[in-house]
C-alpha cells in the first residue's frame, strides 16, 4: 500500500512539474520572451475627436481649412509604468496637432482632485502626434488661435476629458508586467524638407550621419503577466502632413492611421507572430468575416434579400445607440484590457512625409532648392506624398510603413527594461535665459535667449503647406511693406532686433500682451526614466540635427555618471505645451521656415541643451529641482468669435435621418467600388458622438439581423457634412464607403447617427438607414 501511495505521489508530482513547465512555455510564447515582471503596467485609450463642423483645423494656419466631417476618429492613448512600491510615470499620446499648456493645466487639476499627488506636472507627459487635420482652438496663446476665431470650448473640453479618461483607464488597468524595447530603421517615411538649412551645419558633424533625417524608430512592448502583450508605444520622426492644407475631414494623419492599423491587427490575431504582410492593400486589416460567418446565398437570393430592405424614414434614437453599434465593441473581451498602440512624435521639425520631394504644381519641375519657390513665389511649391495627388492614399502608405516597422520591432523585441522609474521636471522662462557657451580658443561667454518672435519666412510656410502673398523661405531681410503692417501691431525695439538677428521680425509675439499673451515665454522641460530608457519631453518641434545634439548631450551626462552601462534616449516632441520650432544655430542663420519659427532666438537650442544637462545630472544624483516660474492659466481671458449652432431644420415632411440620395435600386457593387448615400442631417457640433460613430456600414446576418461592419474608425468609410450655404439651418451628411478587398460578399446598408438642435436649444438624437444593397 505504501509503495502504491508513493507511486501516486510520484505521478502527482510529475503532473505538477509538467503543468508548470507547460504554463511557463505558454507564458513565454505569449510574451515572445520569458521574463520576470518588474513593473506595474497599465494602458488606456479614449476618443478625443472633437467638433467635426465649422471649426478651423490646427496646423496649417489656413483660415479656409474648416472641419466638415471625419476621415477617422482621434484618440488619446496613455501608458503608466510604476514601481510596485515606488515612483510612476504617465505618458499620453494625442491624435492632435500638439499639446496645450492650458489643457495640461486643467488635466493636472482633475488628476489632483481624483488621485491627490500621485500624478503631477513632474511625472505626467502629454504629447501630440502633430496631425494637421484636427480641430483647433484649444491652445491659450493668441497666435495659435487666430485662425480658429479664438478659443473653441468644445475642442478644449474633449481633449481634457479624453486625456483624463485615458489616464483613468491606464490607472485602473495597472497590473504586474514587463516592458521590452526594440529599435530599427525605417527608411522611406520621411525626407528633409529644408535640406539647404541642414547643409549649413558643420560638415564634420554631418559626416557622422548617413542621412539628413533620423530613420530610427524606438518601440516599447508592454506585456501583462496574465494577459500577455497589451500594447506598444513607439517614437519616430515624421510630420503629420500627409493630409493637405485643403483637407476638411478630421484625421489622425499617418501616425493616427498607423495606430488604428496596429490595434486592429492585434485585436484580430491576439498574437504577435502574425506577419504584417497580411495587412490588406486597401488599408483594412480587420475583416468582417472575423465577426460573423459569410452569408451563404447565391447572387439572386442576395438581390431579393436586399430588395426587401428599402430606406425607412429617419427616426428618433437614443444617444447610447451610436456607441452601442460601434464595430470594435465586438472584439472586446470584457475581462481583458484592450490592446493600445501609439505612434508618437519625435524631432520632426524638418521631416516631411511627402517623400517624393517638392515640385512646382504648375510646371512639374523641382522647386528652387534654397527658397522652395516656383518662379520666385512659394504658393505653387508642394511636397508630394507617395500617393501623389491622393492625400488619403499618401496617409495610408506612410501610416502603413510605420505600422509594418512597428510590427517587426514588436515581434522581435527582446531587451527588457530593468531598473528605476524616475522623473524630473522644471519650468523655465525662455524669454531671458542666460546660456554659457564655450569660446573658440578657450574660455566661455554668456549669451541670452530673446522674447518670442517670428520671422518673415514663417509666413512663407513649408513645402507641406505653403503660405500666401510674397513671403519666401530663406528671407533674412524682410520687406518695407510688411514691416509697416507689423508696426501697426508692435514695433520691435533695437534690443529685440539685435537679439533675434539674423531673423527679420515679422511678429514680435513675445512682447505683444493685448488683450492677453500672444505667445508663451515660460516652458516646461521634463525627463522620464524607465530603466535604461530616458524620454526627453520637449515643448516644440526640434529639427533633425537639433534633436541629435540634445540626445547626445543628455546621453553623455547619463553615461559619464557610471550608473548606466548603456542608455537609450528618445525625444518626445510637442509635449506638455507648444512653442513652435527649435533649430541649430547654423540652421537659424539660413532663416527657412523652421529657423524663422524658432521663437527665442539663435541660442534657443543651446539653452535647451544646457538646461536638460542640468536636469539629467539631477536625475542621476537624486537632487531636487526647483519648480521654476509657473506658466499662466489664461482660461478666464479666452475670447471666442465662433458662431454657435442656433438650430437645425429640415423641409416640411422630411425627418432628420431621411435619405436624400439613396443607393441605386437592385444594384450590385464590387470590391473597390465606392458607395455613397446622402442623409438629411444636423450640425455635428450638437453631439460629438464621443466613443460613438456618425457613420456605420452594417451587413445582414440571416434574414433580419444587421451586424456592424465598418464605422468612423475605419479608413474606408468617410463622413462628410455640408450646408447649402454658410448660415443655413439645413444640412446634409454624405457617407462614402470604399468597399475594401477584404469585405465579405453579402447584403449591406449604410446608417447615419446624428443630433439636431431644436428651437429652444434642446438636442434630439436621430438615425437613418439607406436601402440595402449587394456586395459580390
Enzyme catalytic residues: 352
Q: What is the 3-state secondary structure (H, E, C) of 693-720?
A: CCEEEEEEECCCEEEEEEECCCCCEEEE
Report in angstroms the alpha-carbon separations of 486 from 449, 478, 507: 22, 11, 6
Grid cell in block for residue 498: 539685435
**Cα 618 to Cα 595: distance, rounded to the nearest angstrom:** 31
d(CA 372, CA 362): 14
CB proximity list for 662: less than 8 A, separation 6 or greater: 311, 677, 770, 771
What CA–CA distances, in Å, run from 545 to 201, 208, 469, 551? 8, 11, 30, 10
Question: Of 87, 81, 272, which is closest to residue 182 (Cα–Cα)?
Answer: 272
CA distance 675 to 662: 10
Identify the residue whose cell numbers are 443607393. Answer: 663
Find out whether 87 and 123 touch, Cβ atoms under 8 Å.
yes
Strand segments, DSSP code E, in 332-433 are: 340-344, 351-352, 357-360, 381-384, 415-416, 421-429
493 with 512: CB under 8 angstroms? no
CA distances in angstroms from 183 to 130, 235, 401, 410, 412, listed in the order given: 22, 10, 15, 10, 10
Residues 296-311 as b/e (b if ≥16 CB within 10 A, e otherwise) read ebeeeebbebbeebeb
Task: Bin 419: left if φ > 0, else alpha if -120 < ψ < 50, else beta.
Answer: left
Q: Three-state SS for 633?
A: coil
For residue 773, give the C-alpha cell: 444593397
Residues 6+ apart with CB under 8 A from 629: 427, 428, 429, 522
- The Cα–Cα gap between 658 and 473 comes to 50
Report the C-alpha dihedral over residues 682, 688, 692, 697, rounded to 10 degrees: 40
**CB-count burial class (<10 Å; 0-12, 13-18, 19+) for 448:** middle
Cell of 152: 473653441
Distance CA 226, CA 81 (A): 16
Are the C-beta atoms of 417 and 181 separated by less than 8 Å?
yes
With the C-alpha atoms ordered 108, 114, 119, 125, is the resulting torsion angle positive or negative? negative
Amino acid at each position: 500500500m505504501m509503495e502504491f501511495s508513493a507511486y501516486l505521489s510520484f505521478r502527482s508530482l510529475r503532473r505538477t512539474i509538467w503543468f508548470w513547465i507547460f504554463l511557463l512555455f505558454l507564458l513565454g510564447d505569449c510574451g515572445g520572451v520569458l521574463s520576470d515582471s518588474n513593473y506595474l503596467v497599465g494602458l488606456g485609450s479614449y476618443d478625443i475627436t472633437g467638433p467635426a463642423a465649422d471649426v478651423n483645423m490646427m496646423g496649417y494656419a489656413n483660415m479656409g481649412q474648416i472641419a466638415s466631417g471625419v476621415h477617422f476618429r482621434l484618440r488619446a492613448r496613455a501608458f503608466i509604468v510604476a514601481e510596485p512600491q515606488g515612483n510612476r510615470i504617465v505618458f499620453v499620446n494625442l491624435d492632435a496637432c500638439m499639446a496645450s499648456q492650458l489643457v495640461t493645466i486643467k488635466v493636472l487639476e482633475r488628476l489632483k482632485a481624483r488621485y491627490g499627488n500621485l500624478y503631477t506636472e513632474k511625472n505626467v507627459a502629454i504629447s501630440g502626434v502633430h496631425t494637421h487635420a484636427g480641430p483647433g482652438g484649444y491652445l491659450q496663446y493668441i497666435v495659435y488661435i487666430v485662425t480658429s476665431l479664438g478659443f473653441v470650448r468644445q475642442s478644449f473640453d474633449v481633449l481634457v476629458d479624453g486625456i483624463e479618461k485615458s489616464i483613468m483607464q491606464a490607472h485602473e488597468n495597472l497590473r504586474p508586467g514587463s516592458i521590452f524595447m526594440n529599435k530599427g530603421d525605417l527608411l522611406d517615411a520621411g525626407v528633409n524638407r529644408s535640406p539647404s538649412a541642414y547643409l549649413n551645419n558643420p560638415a564634420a558633424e554631418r559626416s557622422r550621419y548617413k542621412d539628413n533625417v533620423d530613420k530610427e524608430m524606438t518601440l516599447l512592448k508592454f506585456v501583462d503577466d496574465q494577459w500577455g502583450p497589451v500594447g506598444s508605444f513607439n517614437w519616430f520622426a515624421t510630420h503629420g502632413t500627409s493630409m493637405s492644407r485643403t483637407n476638411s475631414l478630421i484625421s489622425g494623419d499617418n501616425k493616427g492611421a498607423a495606430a488604428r492599423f496596429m490595434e486592429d491587427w492585434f485585436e484580430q490575431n491576439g498574437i504577435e507572430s502574425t506577419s504584417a504582410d497580411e495587412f490588406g492593400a486597401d488599408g483594412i486589416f480587420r475583416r468582417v468575416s472575423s465577426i460573423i460567418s459569410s452569408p451563404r446565398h447565391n447572387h439572386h437570393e442576395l438581390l431579393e434579400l436586399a430588395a426587401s430592405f428599402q430606406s425607412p424614414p429617419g427616426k428618433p434614437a437614443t444617444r447610447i445607440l451610436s456607441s452601442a453599434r460601434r464595430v470594435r465593441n465586438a472584439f472586446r473581451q470584457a475581462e481583458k484590457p484592450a490592446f493600445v498602440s501609439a505612434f508618437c512624435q519625435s524631432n520632426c521639425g524638418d521631416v516631411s512625409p511627402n517623400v517624393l520631394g517638392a515640385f512646382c504644381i504648375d510646371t512639374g519641375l523641382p522647386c528652387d532648392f534654397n527658397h522652395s519657390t516656383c518662379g520666385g513665389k512659394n504658393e505653387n511649391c508642394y511636397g508630394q506624398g507617395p500617393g501623389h495627388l491622393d492625400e488619403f492614399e499618401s496617409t495610408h502608405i506612410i501610416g502603413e510603413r510605420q505600422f509594418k516597422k512597428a510590427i517587426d520591432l514588436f515581434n522581435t523585441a527582446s531587451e527588457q527594461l530593468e531598473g528605476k522609474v524616475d522623473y524630473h521636471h522644471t519650468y523655465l522662462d525662455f524669454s531671458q535665459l542666460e546660456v554659457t557657451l564655450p569660446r573658440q580658443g578657450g574660455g566661455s561667454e554668456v549669451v541670452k535667449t530673446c522674447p518670442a518672435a517670428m520671422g518673415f519666412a514663417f509666413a512663407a510656410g513649408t513645402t507641406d503647406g505653403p503660405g500666401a502673398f510674397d513671403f519666401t523661405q530663406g528671407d533674412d531681410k524682410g520687406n518695407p511693406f510688411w514691416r509697416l503692417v507689423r508696426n501697426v501691431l508692435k514695433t520691435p525695439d533695437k534690443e529685440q532686433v539685435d537679439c533675434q538677428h539674423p531673423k527679420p521680425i515679422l511678429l514680435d509675439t513675445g512682447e505683444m500682451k493685448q488683450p492677453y499673451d500672444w505667445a508663451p515665454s515660460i516652458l516646461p522641460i521634463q525627463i522620464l526614466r524607465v530603466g535604461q530608457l530616458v524620454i526627453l519631453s520637449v515643448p516644440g518641434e526640434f529639427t533633425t540635427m537639433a534633436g541629435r545634439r540634445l540626445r547626445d548631450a543628455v546621453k553623455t551626462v547619463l553615461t559619464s555618471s557610471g550608473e548606466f552601462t548603456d542608455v537609450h534616449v528618445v525625444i518626445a516632441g510637442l509635449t506638455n505645451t507648444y512653442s513652435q520650432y527649435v533649430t541649430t544655430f547654423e540652421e537659424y542663420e539660413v532663416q527657412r521656415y523652421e529657423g524663422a519659427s524658432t521663437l527665442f532666438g539663435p541660442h534657443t537650442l543651446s539653452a535647451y541643451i544646457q538646461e536638460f544637462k542640468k536636469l539629467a545630472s539631477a536625475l542621476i544624483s537624486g537632487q531636487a529641482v526647483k519648480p521654476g516660474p509657473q506658466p499662466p492659466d489664461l482660461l478666464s481671458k479666452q475670447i471666442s468669435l465662433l458662431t454657435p449652432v442656433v438650430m437645425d431644420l429640415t423641409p416640411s415632411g422630411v425627418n432628420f435621418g431621411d435619405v436624400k440620395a439613396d443607393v441605386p435600386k437592385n444594384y450590385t457593387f464590387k470590391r473597390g467600388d465606392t458607395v455613397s448615400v446622402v442623409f438629411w442631417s444636423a450640425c455635428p457640433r450638437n453631439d460629438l458622438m464621443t466613443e460613438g460613430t456618425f457613420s456605420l456600414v452594417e451587413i445582414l446576418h440571416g434574414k433580419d439581423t444587421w451586424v456592424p461592419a465598418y464605422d468612423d474608425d475605419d479608413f474606408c468609410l468617410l463622413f462628410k457634412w455640408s450646408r447649402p450655404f454658410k448660415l443655413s439651418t439645413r444640412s446634409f451628411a454624405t457617407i462614402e464607403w470604399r468597399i475594401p478587398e477584404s469585405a465579405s460578399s453579402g447584403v449591406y446598408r449604410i446608417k447615419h447617427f446624428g443630433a439636431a438642435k431644436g428651437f429652444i436649444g434642446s438636442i434630439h438624437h436621430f438615425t437613418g438607414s439607406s436601402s440595402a444593397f449587394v456586395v459580390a
